[in-house]
């Protein structure tokens, strides 16, 4: 007897995951393939688009072998992806016009500085601060500085897109040029009220509308697979940014829900009843769009969380950087008053200071590398707390708990410290591939496996709960120390507009 499955592909910053989900809504198989990052110069971070595509092919091939062995049928493909990473390719040849500009890349800081007077308009229309993070600034940089991109634009064969658009293009054999509203909402070009590409902002960044992909809901057909023999004719029925997908995968859809995804960087997202009022500290975004109904959210992005752990491990010369730093941190009970501010590529929400740089503060003669390792893990929790409290203020609600997902949540010390600093329970998801799962659920809705998102609440797991256990006075002292440390690396004490 043949059984239907959804193939969910989660293309992330450092790896590509493939997940098979059956009609129960639960994963039955998972695999992954690594993806390298290139940092040729300070502030420059990029990836080879063909290597991204090859990693997707490898992960899919492994998943297909599993379905073949079990006589299962892939009924749909669903995509979740790293966001803001900007790509450019030739519409006729299908070949990339250079490396993808990573979401972590700071090369467009000059463009943002030049357009600073337009920042309030950009934020009001798109919900995003003007920062090198947004895709629009990266595409503007390519159009100004890359001769290949300029030539393709003049010849009318330029295509610009985020990772979802690139993968849909490749999977469909070049027949589909599409993006979903969540990824579009992170570009700095989507008008949140009209849910369309904003002509004024396209003109501001000097990006022709013709080179932008067609907008789609997160759940529904975005193309048909033509590039992989075993999947010919299989529809692509979901696409969504990875942080949005993780929010959906938690299966909690009330307007008091908040989650944090801990990855290379981290993202907090809180659902809102509608499009909330403008706020300078946080982003307003689209959580997902299903059957023409759009769910809005507040979001705060942090550039370096897991990446900071990796950086420290590489700095210390460890063979297995992230794991060895995590292990080293357990050899001491706390950081001994050391604060690590991982602003190596600037500070994101709620500070938005692209000029800030990282620092280790409070070092004494008796401190060791273990204290610094402990401090870098604590820094993840502190940064999340900064955004969490800013979201409470912006939303006008008190969140009763934080739902957590992502690779770093496997670290019990981090999860406990997070609960202590927030003074709220932290609920760790049992599913390490929540972004892929969320994408798969959106594909299942398009297949009518479930009638609505509400049907998925009973499938979602509760997860392990970490209850706060730190004394209030110590919590206040530690967080005050962190706030002072952040202030020391700031280039401006005002939140940038």
Residue range(s) in the chain whose domain bears CATH number 3.30.420.40: 3-243, 251-428+467-497
Tell me what percent of the chain is helix, strand and coil, each rounded to the nearest 5.
35, 25, 40
Alpha-carbon gap, residue 6 to 444, rounded angstroms: 7
Alpha-carbon gap, residue 167 to 74, rounded angstroms: 18
Predicted local distance difference test score (pLDDT) of residue 492: 66
* pLDDT one-digit tens code per residue, 212-233: 999 999 999 999 999 999 999 9
pTM of the model: 0.87
* pLDDT one-digit tens code per residue, 50-83: 999 999 999 999 999 999 999 999 999 999 999 9
Q: Which fold has domain 251-428+467-497?
A: Nucleotidyltransferase; domain 5 (3.30.420)
The residue count of the chain comes to 497
Backbone angles phi, psi at 154, to 5 degrees: -60, -35
Q: How many C-beta neighbours within 10 Å does residue 476 have?
A: 12
For the chain, state the CA radius of gyration: 22
Alpha-carbon gap, residue 398 to 219, rounded angstroms: 31
Confidence of residue 433 (pLDDT cuts 50, 70, 90): confident
Q: With a cut of 90, say whether residue 38 has pLDDT above it.
A: no
Query: Is 322:310 a contact under the CB 8 Å cutoff?
Result: yes
Q: Which fold has domain 3-243?
A: Nucleotidyltransferase; domain 5 (3.30.420)
Predicted local distance difference test score (pLDDT) of residue 494: 47
Q: How confident is the prediction for the chain on average, in pLDDT?
A: 93
């Amino acid at each position: 007897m043949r059984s239907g499955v959804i193939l969910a592909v989660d293309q992330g910053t450092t790896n590509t995951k493939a997940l098979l989900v059956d009609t129960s809504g639960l994963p039955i198989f998972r695999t992954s393939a690594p993806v390298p990052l290139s940092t040729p110069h300070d502030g420059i971070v990029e990836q080879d688009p063909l290597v991204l595509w090859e990693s997707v092919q490898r992960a899919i091939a492994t998943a297909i072998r599993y379905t073949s062995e079990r006589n299962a049928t892939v009924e749909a493909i669903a995509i979740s992806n790293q966001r803001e990473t900007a790509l450019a390719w030739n519409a006729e040849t299908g070949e990339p016009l250079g490396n993808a500009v990573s979401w972590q890349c700071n090369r467009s800081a000059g463009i943002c500085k030049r357009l600073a007077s337009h920042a309030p308009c950009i934020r009001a229309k798109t919900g995003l601060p003007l920062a090198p993070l947004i895709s629009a600034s990266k595409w503007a940089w390519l159009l100004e500085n890359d001769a290949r991109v300029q030539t393709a634009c003049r010849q009318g064969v330029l295509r610009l897109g985020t990772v979802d658009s690139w993968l849909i293009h490749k999977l469909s054999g070049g027949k589909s040029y599409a993006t979903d509203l969540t990824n579009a909402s992170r570009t700095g070009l989507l008008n949140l009220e009209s849910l369309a590409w904003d002509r004024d902002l396209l003109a501001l960044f000097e990006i022709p509308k013709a080179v932008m992909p067609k907008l789609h809901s997160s759940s529904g057909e975005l193309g048909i697979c033509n590039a992989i023999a075993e999947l010919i004719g299989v529809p692509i029925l979901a696409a969504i940014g990875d942080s949005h997908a993780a929010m959906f995968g938690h299966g909690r859809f009330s307007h008091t829900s908040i989650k944090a995804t801990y990855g290379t960087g981290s993202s907090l997202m809180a659902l809102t009843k509608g499009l909330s009022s403008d706020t300078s500290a946080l982003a307003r975004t689209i959580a997902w769009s299903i059957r023409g109904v759009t769910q809005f959210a507040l979001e705060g992005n942090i550039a370096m969380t897991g990446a900071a752990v990796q950086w420290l491990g590489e700095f210390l010369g460890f063979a297995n950087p992230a794991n060895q730093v995590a292990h080293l941190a357990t050899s001491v009970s706390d950081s001994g008053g050391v604060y690590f501010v991982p602003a190596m590529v600037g500070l994101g929400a709620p500070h938005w200071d692209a000029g800030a740089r990282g620092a280790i503060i409070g070092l004494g003669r008796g401190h060791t590398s273990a204290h610094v390792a402990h401090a870098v893990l604590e820094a993840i929790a502190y940064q999340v707390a900064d955004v969490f409290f800013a979201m409470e203020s912006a939303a006008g609600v008190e969140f009763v708990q934080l739902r957590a997902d992502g690779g770093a949540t496997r670290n019990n010390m981090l999860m406990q410290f997070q609960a202590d600093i927030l003074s709220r329970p932290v609920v760790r998801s049992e599913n390490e591939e929540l972004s892929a799962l969320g994408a798969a659920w959106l594909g299942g809705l398009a297949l009518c496996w479930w009638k609505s998102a509400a049907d998925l609440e009973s499938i979602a797991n509760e997860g392990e709960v970490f209850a706060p256990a730190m004394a209030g006075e110590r919590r206040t002292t530690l967080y005050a120390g962190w706030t002072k440390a952040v202030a020391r690396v700031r280039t401006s004490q005002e939140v940038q507009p």
